[in-house]
């Protein structure tokens, strides 16, 4: 029985394909867990989801033209950011309403483009990801994202805390809230660009929001929250890979399900820990 259990645990990683996917999931979990804490703390969950959905037209156009998806996603994010900024300046229309209109319009445009007769096979991977098809370039981008992201968050940590806890008093401490907000949004955009190729346009927000939200239920301090969110993201990612392999389900969707389940477990555990 012990041998059977060990085989069950080792089977998903027996081939190089599974090991590469595991490394990608671990890297994105570390990045998503750390950045997600600030996304949740700054109430940017809706903005993260909006940006992820709004970059779909850029991804589809890049796929149709045979260009790198990273380039298409970057252009899509730029267009989305400009459109959201313009929509927020329209008198009589609330900012949330403007964002919703822009996001739904761009997402719908991406879906229409994907229906083109010239659409390459496998374009649905843009929506749900293809964690089992990661390339050396994807792994290098994920590794670079972890290094840059964790380094930037370490440098910005005092400023992020100052603005997040008391935006009005941050200027008195020599911290410009606008610069901090811009830096956080740039990090968010970079994380989305890298992670969307693994988890897909529809599921990428799960790695940013679910582990951080779960960690916030279990701790009130930022440092433990960052560590716990990263650990939960990695564990949920690995659990999703096991579910995908043994149940024959889609890898991206299985990982997203495990990430959301981590929040449910944290919500159930919180009253017990409080006692």
| pLDDT at residue number 152 | 93
- Residues near 189 by beta carbon (within 8 Å), at least 6 away in sequence: 51, 77, 81
Distance, CA of 133 to chain centre = 18
Give the pLDDT band of residue 113 (cuts 50, 70, 90). confident
Let me know: does 233 contact 213? Beta carbons within 8 Å.
no
Is the pLDDT at 120 greater than 70, yes or no?
Answer: no
**Between 119 and 234, residue with greater pLDDT:** 234
Q: What is the pTM of this model?
A: 0.85
**Between 33 and 68, residue with greater pLDDT:** 33
| pLDDT at residue number 271 | 81
Distances (CA, A) of 244 to 30, 132, 195, 250, 254: 20, 11, 18, 6, 6
- Residues near 200 by beta carbon (within 8 Å), at least 6 away in sequence: 125, 126, 127, 128, 129, 130, 252
Determine which of 42-56, 63-77, 85-99, 198-212 has the lowest per-residue pLDDT on average: 85-99
What's the token pair of residue 15?
A: 């081939």
Is the pLDDT at 125 greater than 80, yes or no?
Answer: no
Give the pLDDT band of residue 93 (cuts 50, 70, 90). low
User: 173-201 burial string, b = 16+ CB within 10 Å, else e?
Assistant: eebebeebeebbbebbbbbbbbbbbbbbb
Determine which of 80-89, 128-137, 143-152 has the lowest per-residue pLDDT on average: 80-89
Is the pLDDT at 85 greater than 80, yes or no?
Answer: no
Q: How far apart are CA 44 and CA 160, in angstroms?
A: 13
Domains present along the chain, CATH in parentheses:
16-120+134-274 (1.10.3470.10)
Is the pLDDT at 82 greater than 80, yes or no?
Answer: no
| pLDDT at residue number 211 | 95
Phi, psi of 20 (to 5 degrees): -65, -40
pLDDT in tens, 213-238: 999 999 988 999 999 999 999 999 99
pLDDT in tens, 2-32: 888 888 888 889 888 889 999 999 999 999 9
Is the pLDDT at 78 greater than 90, yes or no?
Answer: no
When mean pLDDT is compared over 56-65, 87-96, 100-109, 146-155, the highest value belongs to 146-155
Q: How far apart are CA 23 and CA 135, in angstroms?
A: 11
**Between 158 and 273, residue with greater pLDDT:** 158
Let me know: does 207 contact 142? Beta carbons within 8 Å.
no
**Between 138 and 210, residue with greater pLDDT:** 210
Which of left, alpha, beta for 129 (phi over 0: left; psi -120 to 50: alpha)?
left
What's the token pair of residue 80?
A: 């989305």
Q: What is the mean pLDDT of the chain?
A: 85
Lookup result for tokens 């970059």: 55
Is the pLDDT at 95 greater than 70, yes or no?
Answer: no
Is the pLDDT at 212 greater than 90, yes or no?
Answer: yes
Percent of the chain surpassing pLDDT 90: 31
| pLDDT at residue number 94 | 64
Max distance between CA atoms of the chain, in angstroms, equals: 68
Q: How far apart are CA 203 and CA 232, in angstroms?
A: 17
Size of the chain, expressed as the number of residues it contains: 275
Q: How far apart are CA 29 and CA 51, in angstroms?
A: 19
3-state secondary structure of 124: coil
């Amino acid at each position: 029985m012990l041998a059977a259990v060990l085989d069950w645990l080792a089977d998903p990683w027996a081939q190089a394909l599974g090991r590469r996917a595991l490394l990608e999931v671990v890297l994105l979990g570390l990045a998503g867990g750390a950045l997600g804490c600030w996304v949740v703390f700054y109430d940017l969950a809706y903005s993260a989801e909006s940006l992820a959905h709004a970059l779909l037209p850029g991804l589809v156009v890049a796929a149709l033209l045979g260009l790198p998806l990273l380039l298409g996603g970057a252009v899509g994010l730029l267009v989305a950011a400009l459109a959201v900024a313009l929509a927020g300046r329209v008198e009589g229309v609330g900012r949330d309403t403007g964002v919703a209109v822009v996001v739904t319009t761009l997402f719908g445009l991406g879906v229409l483009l994907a229906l083109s007769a010239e659409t390459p096979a496998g374009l649905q991977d843009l929506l749900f990801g293809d964690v089992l098809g990661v390339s050396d370039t994807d792994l290098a981008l994920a590794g670079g994202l972890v290094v840059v992201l964790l380094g930037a968050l370490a440098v910005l940590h005092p400023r992020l805390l100052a603005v997040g806890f008391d935006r009005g008093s941050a200027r008195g401490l020599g911290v410009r809230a606008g610069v901090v907000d811009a830096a956080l949004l740039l990090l968010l955009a970079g994380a989305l660009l890298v992670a969307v190729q693994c988890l897909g346009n529809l599921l990428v927000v799960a790695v940013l929001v679910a582990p951080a939200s779960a960690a916030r239920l279990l701790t009130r301090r930022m440092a433990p929250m960052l560590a716990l969110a990263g650990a939960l993201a990695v564990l949920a990612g690995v659990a999703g890979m096991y579910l995908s392999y043994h149940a024959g389900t889609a890898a991206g969707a299985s990982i997203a399900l495990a990430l959301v389940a981590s929040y449910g477990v944290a919500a159930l555990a919180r009253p017990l820990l409080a006692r």
